[in-house]
Amino acid sequence: MGDTKDRVGAAGVIVAGGFFKIALYVCVAVLVIWIGKVTYQFGYNVFNQQAMNPGEGQEVTVVIKEDATSYDIAKTLKSKGLIEDTLVFWIQEKLSNYSGKMKPGTYLLSTAYTPNRIMGILAGDAEQEGATS
């Protein structure tokens, strides 16, 4: 009698162990898919530059301080509604030709400008200042 009870208990442990193994594999697969989706979307946002408000846009005055880092500038632009994501703009700036070239000052920018155009204006690129949206 005790032998049968032990076999049934061992079978239950094996079934439960198999169930938890499968559940763990499913959780890992869902996590990998979610991480892939998030990283793809982040990369897409970095390389597919979009204006916040294509078309006419709204003009906004922005003041860049003397000691502002590129991340500080990104936070300022986000607070003014010129960019969607601070981290995305910071990465775009690091990958652009304007990395480290943005200058302090007061600028009149538009929500119709792409991040690259905003960087060009902040870096003093005359071509970007006169460009059409």
Looking at the structure, do residues 73 and 20 belong to the same domain, yes or no?
A: no
Report the number of distinct structural domains present in the chain.
2
CATH number, domain of 112, equals 3.30.1490.480
Looking at the structure, do residues 76 and 111 belong to the same domain, yes or no?
A: yes
pLDDT of residue 9: 67
Looking at the structure, do residues 1 and 21 belong to the same domain, yes or no?
A: yes
Choose between 113 and 7: higher pLDDT: 113
Looking at the structure, do residues 111 and 70 belong to the same domain, yes or no?
A: yes
CA distance 123 to 102: 4
Q: Which domain holds residue 86?
A: 59-130
Quickly list DSSP for 65-115.
Answer: -TT--HHHHHHHHHHTTS-S-HHHHHHHHHHSTTTTT---EEEEEETTS-H
The per-residue pLDDT for range 34-58, each reduced to its tens digit, is: 999 999 999 999 998 888 888 888 9
Mean pLDDT of 1-11: 62
Looking at the structure, do residues 2 and 35 belong to the same domain, yes or no?
A: yes
CA angle, 104 as apex, 101 and 109 as ends, to 5°? 90
Amino acid, single-letter form, for residue 98: Y
The per-residue pLDDT for range 74-87, each reduced to its tens digit, is: 999 999 999 999 99
Looking at the structure, do residues 42 and 64 belong to the same domain, yes or no?
A: no
* Residue 38 within a domain: yes
* Residue 53 within a domain: no
Joined together, the tokens standing for residue 116 give 């690259």
Choose between 10 and 71: higher pLDDT: 71
* Residue 54 within a domain: no
DSSP state of 123: T
CA distance 36 to 133: 33
* 111 contacts 58 by C-beta, under 8 angstroms: yes
- State the average pLDDT for the chain: 87
